[in-house]
Chains A and B, each alone.
Chain A
Amino acid sequence: MTRLTLLFWQSMVAVVALALWQFLTTVPVFGKILLPPFFFSNPVDVASQIIKWFTTGVIWKHLMITLLESVLAFVIGSVGGVLVGFWFARQPRVAAVFDPYVKMINALPRVVLAPIFALWLGLGIWSKVALGVTLVFFIVFFNVYQGVKEVSRTVLDNGRMLGMSERQLTRHVYWPSALSWMFSSLHTSVGFAVVGAVVGEYLGSAAGLGYLIQQAEGVFDVGAVFAGMFVLSAFVILIDFGVTLVERRLLVWRPTAEGRG
């Protein structure tokens, strides 16, 4: 399939789905509307809601809040995950002592922490950031830990034979390997940062995309709920695209990064 025909068929899926949605929610079939608009809204309403958000500008504030929370969660979680992952991998005894607790915390569904964070940190952005951090941290932590542990034996020996001290091995071998594993999990960790932010907002806040959706649900405005979901999807896709660009730069030395996209 050429790029153009692929694009055509991809758009066709959207067109058909939207047309079906519009049809079933507005045109009676055998004297009955199959999808009641109250529960399913319709594409035209949803689109006009989205346009209204952007033309009046109310959406920007919410987008900015969600973006800020996601970025903070990602940065703090990543830095923490890299440092602790690296530390554990280089100090097997520390890792052994903490191992059961790491597993325990990681096994916990993070949503249950949201109310506690709200209690501790209030309803502002920090309780959402905290939730995102608990998600991002573990992904980065496990990847960095793995990255340090799986450094090729031969590459290490080569470093030693070339005269590297332990510190130089850390800088030239362990560290790049750990970071490459972290970068390869970039999509997942960025995705989870957004999840943390939106779920946190949904469960209690005064701004953000999650808040917007939650508000709409509160007044049974299904059109606004769908509109919020579409904006959120577009938001995540944009961020993901940004991540792909960053990744292509950072992982040029990897055979897999080249063939992608």
Chain B
Amino acid sequence: MTDTAQPAAVALDDATVAFRVAGDRVYTAVERASLSVAHGEFVAIVGPTGCGKSTLLNVAAGLLKPAAGSVKIFDQPLTGLNRDAGYLFQADALFPWKTAIDNVAIGLDIKGAPRELALQRAQGWLTSVGLGAFANRYPHMLSGGQRKRVGLAQVLIRDPKILLMDEPFGPLDAQTRQIMGNLLLDLWNADRKAVLFVTHDLEEAIALADRVVIMSAGPSARIIGDWQVTLPRPRDISEVRMEKQFHELHREIWRVLKDEVMKGYAQSTQAEAV
């Protein structure tokens, strides 16, 4: 499935990210994280809240410069924004003043594509994510899950080589998550992009990914584990959960993750008490 002859789509090497907080204090969010995503590989990052998952994605997107370490995209050092990446943000990122179809078409519009073509392709993508009938709705007239789908179409219409996704199904209910997960797998099966998928849900990570990477609780979060998921593809999110291998892997990873989640929780409650 993964092609070792080709350079890694994303390669973080000892990346350290620090934020300046309150004047001259520095908060090291991520320390010496190394991670690589092969061409066509689906990698999920799991970690407790606030550990630095979004931060890591921002680094891969080129929105954030690491204080130390290197970022390479297809073997080229990343300077500025990552032009090969499509980024589905954790927070709402649709343009609220554009209709669903205009939100999707914008990626082609700004490349100077003819309007007719852009709209036609956008309608096609909306249909692919199951929103063909919602083209003229504004984002506020869509449910959270529908907005995420529009966001997915908005990113995919540009056909990026790398897909960065930050807890895309986070706020959705369990059923919608499964539907969205299967939708994502179907789309990904059609043309295997390199995917870096952030989630706090370990089950979701195992069900979707080729590899699951675990981060420790912050500050100075590190990557503390890396598991191959060899469950056969194509997968169905709800069926794959029944398999024996799924449970064994889940138990194994959870043993490592549990401690970090507890640490992360303790820290977050402390921070609130200060």
A binding-site residues for B, Cβ under 8 Å: 152, 154-155, 157-165, 168, 172-173, 176-177, 180, 252-255, 258
Whether A172 contacts B106 by the Cβ 8 Å rule is yes
Cβ < 8 Å to A, chain B residues 54-89: 61, 63, 81-83, 85-87, 89
- Those 7 A-B pairs whose CB atoms lie nearest each other, nearest first: A158-B93, A253-B138, A255-B140, A176-B97, A161-B87, A154-B91, A154-B93
In the complex, which residues of chain A have a beta carbon less than 8 angstroms from the beta carbon of B158? Answer: 162-163
Interface bits B86-104 vs A (CB < 8 Å: 1, else 0): 1101011111111100000
Whether A161 contacts B97 by the Cβ 8 Å rule is no
Q: Identify the interface centre among B63, B81, B96, B111: most chain A CB within 10 Å of its CB.
A: B96
In the complex, which residues of chain B have a beta carbon less than 8 angstroms from the beta carbon of A159? Answer: 95
Q: Determine the distance from Cα of A258 to Cα of B138 in the docked complex, in whole angstroms.
A: 12
Q: Determine the distance from Cα of A162 to Cα of B99 in the docked complex, in whole angstroms.
A: 17
Whether B93 contacts A163 by the Cβ 8 Å rule is no
Whether A168 contacts B63 by the Cβ 8 Å rule is no
Whether B106 contacts A161 by the Cβ 8 Å rule is no
A167 to chain B, nearest CB (A): 10
Q: Which residue of A lies closest to B154 (CB)?
A: A162
Answer whether A161 and B154 are a contact pair too, CB < 8 Å, given A155-B93, A168-B110, A255-B140: no
Q: Which residue of B lies closest to A250 (CB)?
A: B97
With A161-B86, A161-B87, A253-B138 given, name 20 new contacts (CB 8 A). Answer: A152-B91, A152-B92, A155-B95, A157-B87, A158-B87, A158-B94, A159-B95, A161-B61, A161-B63, A161-B81, A162-B107, A164-B110, A165-B110, A172-B106, A176-B95, A176-B97, A177-B97, A180-B97, A252-B138, A253-B139
Q: Which residue of B lies closest to A160 (CB)?
A: B81
In the complex, which residues of chain B have a beta carbon less than 8 angstroms from the beta carbon of A177? Answer: 97
Q: Which residue of A lies closest to B164 (CB)?
A: A161
Q: Is the interface of B mostly helix, strand, loop or mixed?
A: loop
Q: Determine the distance from Cα of A10 to Cα of B99 in the docked complex, in whole angstroms.
A: 40
Answer whether A254 and B96 are a contact pair too, CB < 8 Å, given A154-B89, A160-B81, A163-B158: yes
Task: List 10 interface pairs A-B (beta carbons < 8 Å), by A numbering.
Answer: A154-B89, A158-B89, A161-B63, A161-B85, A162-B154, A162-B155, A162-B158, A163-B83, A164-B110, A177-B97
B218 to chain A, nearest CB (A): 21
In the complex, which residues of chain A have a beta carbon less than 8 angstroms from the beta carbon of B155? Answer: 162
Whether A253 contacts B81 by the Cβ 8 Å rule is no
Q: Determine the distance from Cα of A25 to Cα of B108 in the docked complex, in whole angstroms.
A: 72
Q: Which residue of B lies closest to A251 (CB)?
A: B97
Whether B110 contacts A172 by the Cβ 8 Å rule is yes
Q: Determine the distance from Cα of A155 to Cα of B151 in the docked complex, in whole angstroms.
A: 11
Q: Determine the distance from Cα of A164 to Cα of B92 in the docked complex, in whole angstroms.
A: 18
Whether B95 contacts A163 by the Cβ 8 Å rule is no
A256 to chain B, nearest CB (A): 9
Q: Determine the distance from Cα of A165 to Cα of B95 in the docked complex, in whole angstroms.
A: 16
Q: Which of these, A157, A162, A176, contacts B110 with CB under 8 Å?
A: A162
Q: Which residue of B lies closest to A253 (CB)?
A: B138
In the complex, which residues of chain B have a beta carbon less than 8 angstroms from the beta carbon of A258? Answer: 140
Q: Which residue of B lies closest to A157 (CB)?
A: B63
Whether B89 contacts A162 by the Cβ 8 Å rule is no
Whether A154 contacts B92 by the Cβ 8 Å rule is yes
Q: Determine the distance from Cα of A232 to Cα of B233 in the docked complex, in whole angstroms.
A: 74
B119 to chain A, nearest CB (A): 16
Interface bits B231-243 vs A (CB < 8 Å: 1, else 0): 0000000000000
Q: Determine the distance from Cα of A252 to Cα of B141 in the docked complex, in whole angstroms.
A: 10
Q: Identify the interface centre among B98, B107, B139, B140: most chain A CB within 10 Å of its CB.
A: B140
B113 to chain A, nearest CB (A): 12
Q: Determine the distance from Cα of A29 to Cα of B236 in the docked complex, in whole angstroms.
A: 89
A217 to chain B, nearest CB (A): 47
Whether B91 contacts A173 by the Cβ 8 Å rule is no
Whether B97 contacts A253 by the Cβ 8 Å rule is yes
Q: Identify the interface centre among A159, A161, A172: most chain B CB within 10 Å of its CB.
A: A161
In the complex, which residues of chain B have a beta carbon less than 8 angstroms from the beta carbon of A255? Answer: 140
Q: Which residue of A lies closest to B89 (CB)?
A: A154
Whether B95 contacts A172 by the Cβ 8 Å rule is yes
Whether B89 contacts A163 by the Cβ 8 Å rule is no
Q: Which residue of B lies closest to A161 (CB)?
A: B87
Q: Identify the interface centre among A155, A180, A252: most chain B CB within 10 Å of its CB.
A: A155
Answer whether A157 and B95 are a contact pair too, CB < 8 Å, given A162-B106, A172-B106, A253-B140: no
Q: Which residue of B lies closest to A180 (CB)?
A: B97
In the complex, which residues of chain A have a beta carbon less than 8 angstroms from the beta carbon of B87? Answer: 157-158, 161
In the complex, which residues of chain B have a beta carbon less than 8 angstroms from the beta carbon of A165? Answer: 110
Q: Determine the distance from Cα of A188 to Cα of B95 in the docked complex, in whole angstroms.
A: 26
In the complex, which residues of chain A have a beta carbon less than 8 angstroms from the beta carbon of B63? Answer: 157, 160-161
B66 to chain A, nearest CB (A): 17
Q: Which residue of B lies closest to A153 (CB)?
A: B91
B124 to chain A, nearest CB (A): 18
B155 to chain A, nearest CB (A): 8
